[in-house]
DNA sequence: TATTCCGATAGTGAC
DNA sequence: GTCACTATCGGAATGAG
């Protein structure tokens, strides 16, 4: 499976079965291999792991259960198949969310002692913040690429690009036509009050199409100020997002992310509506 | 089936299967036959049925659906089997509640034009009130008798009486021993805000054991001032029970009718507790 | 508070 | 706001030619 095969469980969806999608190269063992080194990974200079003592008593290994489940990925990224761990390096592990709330939903997990802090505190460190921001951008581009791979064939804006890709149109330049700005369709951020104890940056498509999208709070956690962009850190002293409960972000009326229609608390009707918006969105 | 077989659907409960219960005489066709005549039924002198004309325009028979469902019983009591209509006369129909909230749960339905009024207004007529009170007492005694029939064999207070009944003890008097005061175990009243439009007096055992007892409001409607005894009518001008919603009777914490334990809103736990209380109650 | 169906809401427990 | 399970709470329909 290729590095961009972010959600292989979707590999046999209708689109891919139809054969019009470019088949991802079978890249065996990518889950256990080191990621390619590039300008981005080079930025993050590897540091000695032992230099950072775990806050926890090392005689009692962490349990990685329930709210600590994400710790297992940063502790042992090679334990996971490539459809779970997208890539990892000394400082980060990128995974596909086990309970995706959109068709593409990844998490960036910093491998840092600061990951056990609340995100607001963790990202007060300028150097750490910069590294997280940079790696997040990298993952964001990867997710955008995956969106193009999955949905480009439906996209009006990608029409010319797709035609060139499929050898159905002439194109003189060595670069493909730019096509749709898929990065604009990617949400990036950290939950104002995470339920999982290890720092994780959500990087996901904005469609909100998933069987795991089940409650109002799921939806509002990605479609309200509850999702704090990494670019917004460090958070100002009196930023209201420091008190997400007080602000009631998660209990707000359900508003379609695309057309703004208000569904009140009728989650199921929102879901039905999102299915329709999804089809239109792909065709943009 | 006998006249006191108020709930034949219970005919094959554990107790009766065990054979310790006096088997009700197999009275074929009782559903369409008149009940046995006894001192009680004799009290209610039969009057010409035509004397009680249906209030409604007979050209448009009313729906008898939903909130008007009880009207069918007073309009045509003979249309029902004897396990539904317990007895009827010109002025009243007594039925087994279709959705009993206790092991014995009957309704007294006055066959009067006033039955379409709100109970508070309907029972402002002294003569009508007196007749309802008298007939209610009659039904209450019938229900008490049924309780004795069903549960006397478990009752400590009924022990001597049961022994005589079963020929297991000597008893010189022609009258049986009095035994337990089963009338004290019977609730009688009218809901402060009925959902069914036809006047109906609830006459039921206090056990609250029934699969139809399904939520807090069911329970509180029989275990709070929401149940207004017919003896309390006519209601004083400022009686708080004229405004049951304002008083919040139905939304109160769940309190066991027998021991007073507070179950808050935990209805299921109350139900489990009531099962235990039921066993102890029978043995009193 | 008639029932019934569906769905939204709330608390818990997770080793 | 992790999930999954259970239970509680809440609104709307309820028929028929």
pLDDT by position in tens, chain B (length 284) = 444 556 544 433 333 322 222 222 222 212 333 334 333 332 222 322 222 223 333 333 345 678 999 999 999 999 999 999 999 999 999 999 999 999 999 999 999 999 999 999 999 999 999 999 999 999 999 999 999 999 999 999 999 999 998 899 999 999 989 899 999 999 999 999 999 999 999 999 999 999 999 999 999 999 999 999 999 999 999 999 999 999 999 999 999 999 999 999 999 999 999 999 999 999 99
Q: Whose C1' is closest to the CA of B69: which nucleotide?
A: C2
**Structure token digits, residue A61:** 């290994």
Which residues of A in 249-268 have their CB below 7 Å from strand C's atoms?
Answer: 265-268
Q: Which nucleotide is nearest to A193 (CA to C1')?
A: D1
Which has the closest alpha carbon to A221: A258, A181, A252, A179?
A: A252
Q: Which two tokens stand for residue A162?
A: 């797709």
- At residue B63, the pLDDT reads 53
Q: Which nucleotide is closest to the Cα of B98 by its C1'?
A: C2
Q: How far is the CA of A221 from the C1' of D3 (A)?
A: 16
Residues in CB range of B205: below 8 A, 6 or more apart: B102, B103, B104, B105, B143, B147, B185, B186, B187
A14 contact to strand C (CB, 7 A limit): no
Mean pLDDT for the stretch of residues A253-257? 98
Footprint on protein of nucleic strand D, Cβ below 7 A: A 66-67, 69, 99, 191, 193-196, 212, 214-221, 244-245, 250; B 63, 65-67, 215-216, 265-269
Distance of C1' in C3 from CA in B119, Å: 22
3-state secondary structure string, B125-158? CHHHHHHHHHHHHHHHHHHHHHHHHHHHHHCCCC
Burial bucket for residue B219 (CB in 10 Å: 0-12, 13-18, 19+): buried
Beta carbon of B63 within 7 Å of strand C? no
Judged by C1' against the alpha carbon of A191, the nearest nucleotide is D1
CA of A272, C1' of D16: distance in angstroms: 31
Close Cβ partners of B47 (under 8 Å, ≥ 6 residues apart) = B89, B90, B91
Q: Output the distance from A148 CA to D9 C1' rounded to whole Å.
A: 44
Identify the pLDDT of residue B65: 74
List of B residues 184-203 with CB within 7 A of strand C:
191, 193-196
Q: What share of chain A is helix, strand, coil (3-state, %, to 5)?
A: 40, 10, 50
Q: Are A110 and A214 in contact (CB under 8 A)?
A: no
Instruction: Give the closest nucleotide to A221 (alpha carbon vs C1').
Output: D1
Question: Quick one: pLDDT band at residue A18, thresholds 50, 70, 90?
Answer: very low
- pLDDT for the residue numbered B5: 55
B159 Cβ nearer than 7 Å to chain C strand: no
Q: For A16-38, give one letter per residue: b (16+ CB within 10 A) or e.
A: beeeebeebeeeeebbeeebeee
Distant-in-sequence, close-in-space partners of B61: CB < 8 Å, separation ≥ 6: none
Separation of CA A144 and C1' D2 in angstroms? 26
Task: Note the CA–C1' distance, A271 to D8, in angstroms.
Answer: 24
Q: Which nucleotide is nearest to A215 (CA to C1')?
A: C8
CB burial of B42-52 (b: ≥16 within 10 Å; e: otherwise) equals eebeeeeeeeb
Name the nucleotide with the smallest C1'–CA separation from B254.
D8
Closest CA to C4 C1' — which residue? B66
Distance CA A104, CA A206 (A): 9
B246 CB-contact burial (10 Å; exposed 0-12 / middle 13-18 / buried 19+)? exposed
Q: Residue B15: what pLDDT?
A: 31
Å: B89 CA to D16 C1': 33
Residue A273: DSSP 8-state: H
* A136: phi then psi, degrees, rounded to nearest 5: -60, -40
Q: Which nucleotide is nearest to A245 (CA to C1')?
A: D1
**What's the Å distance between residue B267 CA and nucleotide D7 C1'?**
9
Q: CA–CA separation, A167 vs A159, rounded Å?
A: 12
pLDDT at A61: 75
Cβ–Cβ < 8 Å for B230, B201: yes
B266 strand C contact, CB < 7 Å: no
The Cα–Cα gap between A76 and B122 comes to: 77
Which pLDDT does position A113 carry in this prediction?
A: 96
Compute the half-sphere exposure of residue B64: CA atoms within 13 Å on the CB side of its CA.
Answer: 11
Q: Which domains does chain B have, with CATH numbers?
A: 8-208 (3.30.428.10)
**A96: three-class secondary structure by DSSP:** strand
**CA–C1' nearest nucleotide, residue B215:** D8
Q: Which residue is nearest to nucleotide D13 (CA to C1')?
A: B66
pLDDT at position A165: 87
What integer pLDDT is reported at residue B6 of this predicted model? 67
Residue A55 pLDDT greater than 80, yes or no: no
The predicted pLDDT at position B8 comes to 45
- Identify the weakest region by mean pLDDT among A24-33, A174-183, B202-211: A24-33
pLDDT score for B9? 43
The radius of gyration computed from the CA coordinates of chain A, to the nearest angstrom, equals: 20
Going by pLDDT thresholds of 50, 70 and 90, the confidence category of residue A59 is low
Strand D bases, protein C-beta under 7 A: 1-4, 6-9, 14-15
pLDDT for the residue numbered A16: 31
Looking at every residue in chain A, the average pLDDT score rounds to: 84
- Cα angle: A151, vertex A155, A160; to 5 degrees: 115
Give the pLDDT of residue B2.
45
- Residues of A (164-223) placing their beta carbon closer than 7 angstroms to any atom of strand C are 215-216
Helix (H) or strand (E) holding B54: none
Residue A214 has pLDDT above 90, yes or no: yes
Nearest residue to nucleotide C11, by CA–C1' distance, is: B266
Residue B51: per-residue pLDDT: 26
Taking the CA of residue A268 and the C1' sugar atom of nucleotide D1, their distance in angstroms comes to 20
Tell me: pLDDT of A41 over 80: no
Instruction: List bases, strand C, within 7 Å of protein CB.
Output: 1-4, 6-9, 14-15
Instruction: At A47, list the tokens.
Output: 């540091």
Q: Where are the beta strands (DSSP E) in chain B?
A: 85-88, 92-96, 105-110, 186-191, 201-205, 227-228
Q: What is the pLDDT of residue B165?
A: 87
H helices present in chain B, as ranges? 14-17, 39-43, 71-75, 119-122, 126-151, 159-165, 216-220, 244-247, 267-282
Residue A13 has pLDDT above 60, yes or no: no
Please answer whether residues B227 and B218 qualify as being in contact, where contact means their C-beta atoms are separated by less than 8 angstroms: no
DSSP count for chain B of H helices, then E strands: 9, 6
């Amino acid at each position: 499976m290729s590095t961009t095969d972010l959600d292989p469980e979707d590999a046999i969806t209708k689109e891919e079965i139809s054969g019009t999608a470019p088949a991802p190269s079978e890249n065996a063992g990518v889950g256990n291999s080191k990621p390619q080194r590039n300008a981005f990974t080079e930025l993050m200079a590897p540091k000695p792991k032992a230099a950072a003592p775990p806050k926890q008593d090392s005689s009692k290994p962490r349990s990685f259960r329930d709210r600590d489940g994400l710790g297992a990925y940063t502790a042992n990224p090679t334990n996971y198949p490539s459809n779970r761990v997208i890539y990892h390096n000394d400082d980060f592990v990128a995974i596909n969310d086990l309970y995706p709330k959109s068709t593409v939903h990844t998490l960036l997990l910093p491998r840092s002692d600061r990951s056990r802090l609340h995100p607001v505190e963790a990202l007060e460190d300028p150097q750490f913040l910069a590294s997280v921001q940079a790696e997040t951008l990298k993952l964001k581009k990867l997710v955008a690429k995956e969106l193009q791979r999955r949905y480009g064939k439906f996209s009006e804006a990608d029409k010319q690009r797709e035609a060139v890709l499929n050898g159905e149109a002439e194109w003189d330049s060595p670069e493909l036509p730019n096509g749709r700005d898929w990065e604009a369709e990617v949400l990036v951020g950290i939950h104002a009050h995470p339920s999982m104890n290890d720092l994780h940056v959500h990087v996901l498509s904005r469609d909100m199409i998933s069987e795991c999208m089940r409650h109002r709070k799921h939806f509002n956690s990605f479609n309200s100020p509850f999702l704090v962009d990494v670019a917004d850190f460090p958070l100002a002293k009196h930023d209201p997002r420091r008190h997400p409960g007080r602000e009631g972000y998660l209990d707000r009326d359900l508003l379609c992310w695309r057309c703004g229609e208000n569904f009140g608390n009728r989650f199921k009707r929102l879901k039905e509506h999102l299915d329709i918006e999804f089809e239109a969105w792909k065709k943009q």
